[in-house]
Amino acid sequence: MHIFLALLYVSLVAAPGSSSLPTNGGSIRNSIHSIINIAQITLVHIKKLQTRMPVSQQIETKTPSIQGLTSISHDLGLLDNDLRSPLTELFIQIQADVSSLEGRVRSLALTMDCPIAARPGREPSDNLFPDSQHHLTLTKAQHYLEEFLLHKDKLKVC
């Protein structure tokens, strides 16, 4: 009888530690890993597309500072809007990547109880020079994602 009670006690005490259910910390780690992978893949897509486009002068863009999940979500929403421009059908895969990235960052922020603003609205663009606009949009996305990967530790703060 004592052996049965001892086995029951050990199984109850050991069960939580050996559970296969993901912990909140494990879920957050998996989300961060997934976000980083999508950002890296998107950079590969951008560089591949840039090799197929006509050569352009080096474009300087200002990359917003990466402060935490709230700012990252907002900035990715703005990039997503830029990539949805009607004249940028070339960007379908990159736009899908950025949209997925923004959704995952937003979900991670909500999991971590971070304040998240509504998605930024689309601003109308004049598209007077579509080729230049394409290069500018791609360069903005590339620089932001490169900066984002350098500051990936900001995925752990609001």
**Cβ-proximal residues to 107 (8 Å cutoff; 6+ apart), any chain:** 31
Query: For the residues 56-64, what does the mean pLDDT come to?
Result: 71
User: What's the CA gap between 72 and 80, in Å, rounded?
Assistant: 12
8 Å CB contact between 144 and 79:
yes
> What domains appear along the chain, each with residue ranges and CATH number?
24-156 (1.20.1250.10)
How does residue 56 score in pLDDT terms, banded at 50, 70 and 90? low
User: What's the CA gap between 75 and 27, in Å, rounded?
Assistant: 24
Q: Which of 24-28, 123-127, 149-153 has the lowest mean pLDDT?
A: 123-127
Query: For the residues 111-138, what does the mean pLDDT come to?
Result: 74
How does residue 6 score in pLDDT terms, banded at 50, 70 and 90? very low
The amino acid at 89: E
User: What's the CA gap between 76 and 145, in Å, rounded?
Assistant: 9
**Cβ-proximal residues to 94 (8 Å cutoff; 6+ apart), any chain:** 42, 45, 46, 49, 83, 138, 141
User: What's the CA gap between 130 and 43, in Å, rounded?
Assistant: 21
Report the predicted TM-score, pTM, of the whole model to 2 decimal places.
0.73
Per-chain mean pLDDT for the chain: 77
